[in-house]
Structure 1
Amino acid sequence: MADASHEVTEHTHLLFPRMRHDEEARSIITKEEVALGSTALGERLPYNDYTTIDWLHDLVKDSYRYRALHFRPGLRAKLLTYFDACAGWVAVSIIGILMAFVAVAIDLSVATVGDLKYGYCSGSPWRSKESCCEYAEEEGELCDKYTVWGESYAVRFSIYVGWAVLFGIISSSVTMLSKTALPSVMPQKDYSNGVASPSDPMAVGKSLYMSAGSGIPEIKTILSGFVIPHYLDFKILVLKAIGAVFAVATGMSLGKEGPFIHIAACVGQLVAERFPKYCENGKKMREILTAACAAGLSAAFGAPIGGVLFAYEEIAVYFPRKVLWRTFLCSMVAAMMLRALNPHGTGKVILFETNYGTLYRAEHYAVFVFLGVVGGLWGGTFTNANVRWAKWFRNLHMIKNRPVFEVFCIITVTAALQYPNPVTRAPGDVIIKNLLVNCQKNSDNWVCQNEAREDGRWDYIAWLAYGTLVQLASTTITFGLKVPSGIIIPALVGGALFGRLAGQWVTTISPGIFAMVGAGAFLAGVGRMTISLCVIMFELTGELEYTLPHMIAILVAKWTADALSHESIYDLAQSVLGHPFLDTEHALTRVQHQPSALVESLIPPPATMAELTVEVPPSNTVPRKILTEKLAQLHRRGLMDGGLVLVQKGLLQGYIAEPELDFGLNRLGDGWGEGVEVRVLGDKVAEGEFDLSVFVDRTPITICAKAPMEYAVEIFGKLGLRYLCVTEEGSGRLIGFVIKKRLLIYLDGLKH
Structure 2
Amino acid sequence: MGEGRADYSIAVSEEEASASDESRGAEAVDVDGKDAGLPECRICYMADNSERMVAACGCQGSLKYTHLGCLQLWTEEQGSSKCEICQQEYRPELLPQLKDAVERGQQRLQDSGGVHTVEVARYNAELQAQYRRSDRPSRNSMQGQWELLAVESACAGSSALPGCPMEAPPAQDLLLGKAPEPAGRSKRSWACRLFQKQQAPELENESLDFDQVQNRVSQARSNRQTKRRHFYGYTGHTLAKFAITASTGILTGLVAAGLAGATEVLILHRKAWLVSIIRMGPASAWPPTGLLHAYGFHIAYSITLLLLAGCLVQFWAPAAAGGGVSQVMAYLNGSDVPDLLRLRTLVAKLIGTICGVASNMAVGPEAPMVHVGAGIASVISYMQGGALLRCCWWVKERRRTGGLTLTETQGRLHSDADHREFISAGAAAGLAAAFGAPIGGVLFSMEEACSYWSARVLWRCLLAAAMATFTLAQLHPRSQAGLLSFDGRRDTMDNVDWLWQGPFFVVVSVLAGLLGALFNLLRKWLWRVRASRKAHLLRLLEVVGLAIITITTIFLLSWHFGRCVKIPDEWAEVEYGFAFNCPEGQYNDLATQLMSIPAETIRHIFAMNVDSPSSNPVLAHSHPWNTGCSATVPCRFTMRSLGITSVAYLVLMAAASGLAVPGGLFMPSIMVGSSFGAMCGLLLLRWLPVGWNVQPGVYAVVAGTAVLAGVFRSSISLVVIVVEGTRGIDFTFGVIIAVVCANWVAHHIHRDGVYESELERDGTVFFLRSEPPHALRYTTARRIMATNVVTFNEVESLTRVVEVLRGCAHNGFPVYSMDRETEERSGRLEGLILRSQLLVLLQNGIFCDAQGIPATHSSVAAEKLEAQLDAQMRSFYRVNHMHRRSRASQPDVVEHLVALQAGRLHQPAGSTRQAASDCVDSAERGQAGVAAPSIEGLYLDLRPYMHRAPLTVRPECAGPRLHEIFYSLGLRHLCVVDGRNTVVGMITRKDLDRAAGHGWWRMNSLPASIDRSQLQPRRGMSGVLQQLVASPSAFVRGFLAAPSNHSPRA
Q: TM-score, normalization: structure 1?
A: 0.78
Q: In the alignment, what sits opposite 1:15?
A: none
Instruction: State which of 359, 374, 382 in structure 2 corresponds to 1:265.
Output: 374
CA distance in 2, matches of 1:724, 1:680: 31
Are 1:93 and 2:238 counterparts? no
CA distance in 2, matches of 1:680, 1:563: 65
Q: In the alignment, what sits opposite 2:746?
A: 561
Are 1:355 and 2:532 counterparts? no
Query: Aligned pair in 2 of structure 1 residues 557, 668: CA closer, same or farther (>3 Å)?
Result: same
Deviation at 1:277, TM superposition (A): 7.3
Q: In the alignment, what sits opposite 2:545?
A: 409
SS of the aligned residue for 1:600 comes to helix
Query: Aligned pair in 2 of structure 1 residues 396, 629: CA closer, same or farther (>3 Å)?
Result: closer
Instruction: State which of 551, 554, 557 in structure 2 corresponds to 1:418.
Output: 554
Instruction: State which of 971, 980, 1000 in structure 2 corresponds to 1:721.
Output: 971
Are 1:242 and 2:351 counterparts? yes
CA distance in 2, matches of 1:680, 1:414: 72
- The one-letter amino acid paired with 2:803 is E
SS of the aligned residue for 1:564 comes to coil
Query: Aligned pair in 2 of structure 1 residues 222, 452: CA closer, same or farther (>3 Å)?
Result: farther
CA distance in 2, matches of 1:520, 1:727: 49
Instruction: State which of 177, 198, 211 in structure 2 corresponds to 1:56.
Output: 211
Q: How is 1:24-423 mapped onto 2 (pairs within 5 angstroms)?
A: 38-43=163-168, 49-57=204-212, 67-72=223-228, 77-78=230-231, 81=234, 83-120=236-273, 150-151=280-281, 152-179=290-317, 209-274=318-383, 275=388, 276=410, 279-345=413-479, 351-359=485-493, 360-394=497-531, 402-419=538-555, 420=558, 421-422=590-591, 423=593
SS of the aligned residue for 1:652 comes to strand
Q: In the alignment, what sits opposite 1:734?
A: 983
- The one-letter amino acid paired with 1:502 is C
CA distance in 1, matches of 2:730, 2:162: 63
Higher relative contact order (CA 8 A, sep 6+): 2
Query: Aligned pair in 2 of structure 1 residues 48, 659: CA closer, same or farther (>3 Å)?
Result: farther
Q: How is 1:400-479 mapped onto 2 (pairs within 5 angstroms)?
A: 402-419=538-555, 420=558, 421-422=590-591, 423-441=593-611, 453-458=621-626, 460-479=638-657
Q: In the alignment, what sits opposite 1:139?
A: none
Are 1:499 and 2:680 counterparts? no
CA distance in 2, matches of 1:558, 1:296: 24
Q: In the alignment, what sits opposite 2:804?
A: 630
CA distance in 1, matches of 2:310, 2:641: 31
Contact 1:70 1:78 in 2 (8 A): no
Instruction: State which of 512, 517, 523 in structure 1 corresponds to 2:708.
Output: 523
Q: In the alignment, what sits opposite 2:1034?
A: none
SS of the aligned residue for 1:695 comes to coil
Contact 1:493 1:519 in 2 (8 A): yes
Deviation at 1:692, TM superposition (A): 2.6
Deviation at 1:354, TM superposition (A): 3.2
**CA offset digits 1:348-367 (Å, max 9, x no partner):** 98821233313133231122
Contact 2:976 2:983 in 1 (8 A): yes
Instruction: State which of 754, 765, 782 in structure 2 corresponds to 1:600.
Output: 782
Deviation at 1:298, TM superposition (A): 1.5
Query: Aligned pair in 2 of structure 1 residues 651, 285: CA closer, same or farther (>3 Å)?
Result: same
Query: Aligned pair in 2 of structure 1 residues 49, 710: CA closer, same or farther (>3 Å)?
Result: same
Query: Aligned pair in 2 of structure 1 residues 37, 380: CA closer, same or farther (>3 Å)?
Result: farther
Deviation at 1:119, TM superposition (A): 1.9
Contact 1:602 1:746 in 2 (8 A): yes
Query: Aligned pair in 2 of structure 1 residues 528, 442: CA closer, same or farther (>3 Å)?
Result: farther
Deviation at 1:677, TM superposition (A): 3.3
CA distance in 2, matches of 1:340, 1:395: 43
CA distance in 1, matches of 2:432, 2:771: 28
Q: In the alignment, what sits opposite 1:135?
A: none
SS of the aligned residue for 2:748 comes to helix
Deviation at 1:284, TM superposition (A): 0.6
Q: Percent identity?
A: 23
Deviates more, 1:505-514 or 1:351-360: 351-360
Deviation at 1:710, TM superposition (A): 1.3
Query: Aligned pair in 2 of structure 1 residues 567, 348: CA closer, same or farther (>3 Å)?
Result: closer
**CA offset digits 1:510-545 (Å, max 9, x no partner):** 111111111110011101111111111111211110
Q: In the alignment, what sits opposite 2:81?
A: none
Deviates more, 1:436-445 or 1:712-721: 436-445
- The one-letter amino acid paired with 1:565 is H
CA distance in 2, matches of 1:400, 1:346: 39
CA distance in 2, matches of 1:396, 1:265: 24
Contact 1:624 1:678 in 2 (8 A): no
CA distance in 1, matches of 2:797, 2:740: 62
- The one-letter amino acid paired with 2:478 is H
CA distance in 2, matches of 1:737, 1:645: 13
Q: In the alignment, what sits opposite 2:73?
A: none
Deviation at 1:219, TM superposition (A): 0.7
Query: Aligned pair in 2 of structure 1 residues 739, 159: CA closer, same or farther (>3 Å)?
Result: same
Deviation at 1:70, TM superposition (A): 4.1
Instruction: State which of 741, 748, 763 in structure 2 corresponds to 1:578.
Output: 763
CA distance in 2, matches of 1:322, 1:352: 31
Query: Aligned pair in 2 of structure 1 residues 234, 344: CA closer, same or farther (>3 Å)?
Result: same
**CA offset digits 1:325-369 (Å, max 9, x no partner):** 121111111111112223214689882123331313323112221
Query: Aligned pair in 2 of structure 1 residues 472, 350: CA closer, same or farther (>3 Å)?
Result: closer
Deviation at 1:166, TM superposition (A): 2.0
SS of the aligned residue for 1:698 comes to coil
For structure 1, list consecutive stretches of 5 or more residues without a partner in the other structure: 1-34, 122-128, 130-145, 180-208
**CA offset digits 1:446-497 (Å, max 9, x no partner):** xx98666454242633322221111111111111111111010011101011
**CA offset digits 1:106-137 (Å, max 9, x no partner):** 1111011123332259xxxxxxx9xxxxxxxx
CA distance in 1, matches of 2:465, 2:161: 42
CA distance in 2, matches of 1:260, 1:66: 38
SS of the aligned residue for 2:830 comes to strand
Query: Aligned pair in 2 of structure 1 residues 56, 379: CA closer, same or farther (>3 Å)?
Result: same
Contact 2:530 2:658 in 1 (8 A): no
Q: In the alignment, what sits opposite 1:664?
A: 841
Contact 2:711 2:754 in 1 (8 A): yes
Contact 1:443 1:449 in 2 (8 A): no
Query: Aligned pair in 2 of structure 1 residues 699, 449: CA closer, same or farther (>3 Å)?
Result: farther
SS of the aligned residue for 2:341 comes to coil
- The one-letter amino acid paired with 1:298 is A
Question: What count of residue pairs does the alignment treat as equivalent?
Answer: 638
CA distance in 2, matches of 1:393, 1:347: 37
Aligned-CA RMSD value: 3.3
SS of the aligned residue for 2:833 comes to strand
Q: TM-score, normalization: structure 2?
A: 0.57
SS of the aligned residue for 1:55 comes to coil
SS of the aligned residue for 2:996 comes to helix
Deviation at 1:613, TM superposition (A): 2.9
- The one-letter amino acid paired with 2:749 is L
Instruction: State which of 934, 953, 956 in structure 2 corresponds to 1:706.
Output: 956
CA distance in 2, matches of 1:452, 1:92: 56
Contact 1:257 1:489 in 2 (8 A): yes
Deviation at 1:89, TM superposition (A): 2.3
CA distance in 2, matches of 1:568, 1:171: 26
- The one-letter amino acid paired with 2:426 is A
Contact 1:678 1:692 in 2 (8 A): no
CA distance in 2, matches of 1:343, 1:716: 45
